């Protein structure tokens, strides 16, 4: 009888040690991130080596998503029972202004983003924000939407600061990396395949940036 009790307790303790679930909430970059060499997979491999069983990296990205699409599937994402939610969003909100006339206004971007942050904080879920990385890798500030993307990155930085959240400043890190590694001022091919989506090096780079902030 005493052993049964002990066993029960042990089981309970073990159960309590469910891995910390980290959900990456984003667009096509995150959707591709769960592919073998995608950034979510790289983070999961890192976890398997350093923190086996303690964390779990889960991708929740859907191609084309803008901030309000995340809001649309917010409840569905919550069903994944995240302990941490990492937002990596904003590229399409800017990009689609030009490519389809269906980008996101500055006020909506802020408003939808902030409401999700507040709801997660109310549930004691850790929130991490990532700034939108790049739409074009030219290093002389001449990618057509650089200005707008910088502005939206600024909104994300402000939200992180206002809500005391950890920030993965991908925008800044990408710019710095490209400045050092793109001597030809190419618009793609350094960390992206097509100015936006990550190549293998880009996925590794994002994983590294995420890891620095998540497991600091």
Could you list the residues that contact its own copies (CB under 8 A)?
Answer: 68-69, 71-72, 96-98, 100-105, 108, 111-112, 115, 136, 140-151, 154
CB of 141 to its own copies, least distance (A): 5
Specify the residue, 8 or 185, whose C-beta has the smaller distance to its own copies.
185
Token pair for 115: 């409401």
Cα–Cα dist 60/75, whole Å: 12
* Cα 24 from Cα 27, distance rounded (Å): 10
Q: Which is nearer to its own copies, 22 or 195 (CB)?
A: 195
DSSP string, 149-213: HHHHHHHHHHHHHHTT-EEE-HHHHHHHHHHHH-TT--SSSSSBSSSSSB-HHHHHHHHHHHHHH
Which CB, 37 or 97, lies closer to its own copies?
97
Q: How far is the CB of 166 from its own copies (least distance, A)?
A: 22
Based on CB atoms, which residue is closest to its own copies, 45 or 110? 110
Q: Tell the smallest beta-carbon distance from residue 106 to its own copies (Å).
A: 9
Nearer of residues 60 and 207 to its own copies, judged by Cβ:
60
Helical axes 200-214 vs 170-181, angle rounded to 10°: 130
Rounded distance between C-alpha atoms, residue 153 and residue 172, angstroms: 9
Q: Looking at beta carbons only, is 33 or 136 nearer to its own copies?
A: 136
Work out the angle between the directed axes of helices 106-122 and 146-162 (0-180°, nearest 10).
30
Distance (Å) of CA 164 to CA 24, 38, 74, 85, 157: 19, 28, 21, 14, 10
Smallest distance from its own copies to CB 214, Å: 27
DSSP single-letter state for residue 131: -
Report the nearest approach of its own copies to the CB of residue 7 (Å): 45
């Amino acid at each position: 009888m005493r052993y049964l009790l002990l066993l029960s307790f042990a089981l309970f303790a073990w159960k309590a040690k469910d891995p910390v679930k980290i959900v990456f909430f984003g667009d096509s970059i995150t959707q591709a991130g769960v592919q073998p060499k995608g950034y979510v997979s790289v983070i999961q491999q890192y976890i398997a080596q350093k923190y086996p069983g303690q964390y779990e990296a889960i991708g929740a990205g859907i191609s084309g998503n803008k901030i309000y699409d995340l809001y649309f599937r917010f409840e569905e994402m919550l069903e994944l029972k995240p302990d941490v939610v990492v937002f990596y969003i904003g590229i399409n909100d800017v990009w689609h202004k030009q490519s389809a006339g269906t980008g996101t206004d500055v006020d909506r971007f802020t408003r939808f983003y902030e409401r999700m942050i507040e709801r997660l904080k109310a549930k004691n879920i850790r929130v991490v924000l990532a700034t939108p990385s790049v739409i074009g890798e030219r290093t002389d500030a001449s990618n057509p939407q650089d200005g707008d993307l910088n502005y939206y990155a600024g909104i994300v930085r402000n939200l992180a600061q206002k809500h005391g959240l950890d920030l993965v400043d991908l925008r800044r890190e990408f710019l710095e990396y490209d400045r050092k590694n793109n001597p030809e001022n190419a618009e793609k091919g350094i960390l992206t395949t097509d100015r936006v989506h990550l190549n293998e090096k880009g996925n590794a780079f994002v994983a590294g940036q995420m890891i620095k902030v998540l497991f600091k």
